[in-house]
Structure 1
Amino acid sequence: MTPANTTDPDGTTLYYGDLSAPHVLQVFIDMRDRASARVAQTLLDTIRKAADEGTLVVKFHFAGTMDDTVGGSGSQRALSALAAASDVGQKQFLDYLAALFAAQPFPPGDDRFAETSVLLSAADGVTGLRSPDFDRKVTDDTYLTWAGESIGTFPSYGVVGAPAVWYDKEVIPVVTIDGDVDITPGTFLARIQK
């Protein structure tokens, strides 16, 4: 079963915006990764604005590295819940992505994203998201298999790890080697507008 607002031949990529936009921004993240959360918290509003203006479409690719390295299933379960949000709408998907990163468990070894109650609690602040249908999809892991398939495509892009950002195949450096955010919204805009 594939959620709404997916693209690519196998339907494993969630997107935000209009697929006919002149530019493609590809964002590679892991829901349990601290650097991914910091990049999202820094750039997500700017990215949303550019997509809403029709400048670009955003394709999100998700890694499950933290599940693999420290154990658990939080990255995959969070992605499964995000897929349920995508069924509600693109706005709810992006708002929920931000809400999940804001609620990201710490340290990374904490696997609270594997808990349904944590995923549903993060959805509480997202306007128009919570409903019996959304809650059922999260509780029943409707998109868990799809999330595993989506995570499985991550290595095919040749990205070493999350987070990473590509703009029309050009790599935009977003973090330092230590995982610190290395870009401001203004610098990011300048890179995509040049």
Structure 2
Amino acid sequence: MRRRFAMVGAVVVVAAVIGAVVALRGAAEDEAEGRPLVVPANTVGEQRTSVLYGKADARHTLSVVVDPRCGPCARTEAALGRTMRELAEKGAYRIEYRLATVEDDARGGEGSRKAVNALGAAADEGPEKFVRYLGAVLAGRSGREEWDGDALASADTLLGIAGRVDGLRTPAFDKAVRELTYLPWGKKVAAAHNQDGAEDALPAVTLDGSVVTVLGEDGVPVSPAEFVRQVRGGKG
């Protein structure tokens, strides 16, 4: 009898946890309902769900898919972000950043969705500010540690991070972060990623559709030299 009650209790606890995760995800999605779709500037693609960095007429495209709460994405940005952008600035390719929110579904909370909204506001301010803000968001509390729990769900946290990027804290940016102006756009961004393969491990980097390896089997990012070798060898 005790064992039966224990099993029932365990089932109830698991159901409650699952229900809480679903409720949090639903809350973020509900917030997007009824809001007008506002698309940030400096976005590209059929549905404008990617943020462009580099020369729009570059012959090649580097696609970089990241989630703001993703630890491996943070490590890759720290090790390779500057190299990726330097090559884009030289015209080797253009970068299309695609934002995912899979960590909210996997870990619960709504930090990824709220961060994508803020990143949309940063994109609207300019590509350079977007990439600097993305790097700061991924860097975590000190630039060495990941964010605790669902810290990125807080507008105050997201605005605090924005203070590290010169010129980003404009009235328009602050308003968009607090009022969730780009949340419907973020929902489209997440849907576009799900359609294209939510099973992919993040970060996912491709050059003209061909996979570029950015993390070794041990989870450590490849060297900048190895990244350059891959992209230089893969384009004409």
AA aligned to 1:157 is D
Match of 1:164 among 204, 215, 219: 204
**How far did 1:118 drift?**
0.5
| Structure 2: segments with no counterpart, 5+ residues | 1-37
Taking the aligned partners of 2:141 and 2:91, their CA distance within structure 1 comes to: 30
**How far did 1:157 drift?**
2.4
C-alpha RMSD of the superposition = 1.7
- Contact preservation (8 Å) 2:54, 2:93: yes
Taking the aligned partners of 1:161 and 1:146, their CA distance within structure 2 comes to: 23
**How far did 1:152 drift?**
1.1
Taking the aligned partners of 1:96 and 1:104, their CA distance within structure 2 comes to: 13
- Contact preservation (8 Å) 2:75, 2:221: no
- Contact preservation (8 Å) 2:140, 2:147: no
- The 3 A distance-change label for structure 1 pair 96 and 108 is closer
Q: Equivalent residue of 2:206, what SS?
A: strand
Indicate the residue corresponding to 1:192 in structure 2: 231
What TM-score do you get using the length of structure 2 for normalisation?
Answer: 0.77
Q: Percent identity?
A: 35
- Structure with bigger helix share is 2
Residues 114-172 of structure 1, C-alpha deviation per residue, up to 9 Å, x if partnerless?
00010000011101111111100111110011111101111232352211110111101
Task: Report runs of 4+ in structure 1 exceeding 3 Å deviation.
Answer: 104-109
| Structure 1: segments with no counterpart, 5+ residues | none
Match of 2:133 among 80, 90, 96: 96
Residues 26-54 of structure 1, C-alpha deviation per residue, up to 9 Å, x if partnerless?
01111101001111111110111111112
Match of 2:86 among 21, 33, 49: 49
Q: Which moved more, 1:98-107 or 1:53-62?
A: 98-107
Indicate the residue corresponding to 1:35 in structure 2: 72
* Structure of larger gyration radius: 2
Indicate the residue corresponding to 1:152 in structure 2: 191
Taking the aligned partners of 1:116 and 1:186, their CA distance within structure 2 comes to: 37
Taking the aligned partners of 2:202 and 2:87, their CA distance within structure 1 comes to: 22
In the alignment, structure 1 residue 116 sits paired with structure 2 residue 121 = no
Taking the aligned partners of 1:172 and 1:87, their CA distance within structure 2 comes to: 28
- Contact preservation (8 Å) 1:81, 1:119: yes
Taking the aligned partners of 2:53 and 2:119, their CA distance within structure 1 comes to: 12
What TM-score do you get using the length of structure 1 for normalisation?
Answer: 0.93
AA aligned to 2:66 is I
Indicate the residue corresponding to 2:168 in structure 1: 129
